[in-house]
Amino acid sequence: MRIGIFGAGAMADALGTRWAAAGHELMISGRTPDKARALAGKWGARTGSFEEVAQFADAALIAVLYQGMPSTLARIGGALGGKVIIDCNNPVEVEHFTLVTAPGNSMAQEIERATGGHVVKAFNLCHARVWQMDPPVFDGRRLFVPYCGDDPTALDTTRRLIADIGCEPLPVGDLRHAHHLEAMAAIVISLLFGGRDPLTVFNLVDVATVPTGTGSAG
């Protein structure tokens, strides 16, 4: 599959590295050309303009901080219209760890409206270090990756890309559910900023401390 990647930060690096290892062909563009070139060299891939990457892609990953999303979408324009877009981003401010989108709205829906592409929300609930794991396995169990979207082809493509990095795809509904995934990410990010290990962020409750009848978390 030809995957176009927009952004050259930690998430682009982690997911792009895994997909390149799985045999996919990558092309990258970012707002910092030197970082994009470095990742392209690491993957054996190419760099290009935002429009060139969009034209190249069978599927695209947008991986930028929410502050840079408006300028990124403006540069992409309509070049991803009708294409599969994976949104791994979280519109979460880190002072109070709340969403910056309007209530009931999501960044995924904003990306879809701006691009005319078929957006799937995925990969937004773990730190980049988790996606670097080969494969992401905890206590002998493969990591489940929730994802949601409206277009069947986009959902199937995302399912395959989740499986390609050794994870279990977990469909959780249509794109309206993206704001739930983003809200959950706000909690995850607050835990990470509070010092939790990125690889064990949900392992917060010791079974011995759980009151009888409440079960356990892990």
For each of the chain's 218 residues, which pLDDT tens digit applies?
A: 999 999 999 999 999 999 999 999 999 999 999 999 999 999 999 999 999 999 999 999 999 999 999 999 999 999 999 999 999 999 999 999 999 998 889 999 999 999 999 999 999 999 999 999 999 998 888 999 999 999 999 999 999 999 999 999 999 999 999 999 999 999 999 999 999 899 877 654 444 444 444 433 33
Cα within 13 Å of Cα(143), Cβ side: 27
DSSP-derived 3-state class of residue 28 = strand
Q: Whose CA is closest to 62, among 26, 100, 30? A: 30
**87 exposed, middle or buried (CB, 10 Å; 0-12, 13-18, 19+)?**
buried
Q: What's this model's pTM, rounded to 2 decimal places?
A: 0.91
**Domains of the chain, earliest start first:** 2-209 (3.40.50.720)
pLDDT of residue 44: 97
Q: Per 3-state DSSP, what percentage of the chain is helix, strand, and coil (rounded to 5)?
A: 40, 20, 40
Give the position of tokens 């190419």: 46
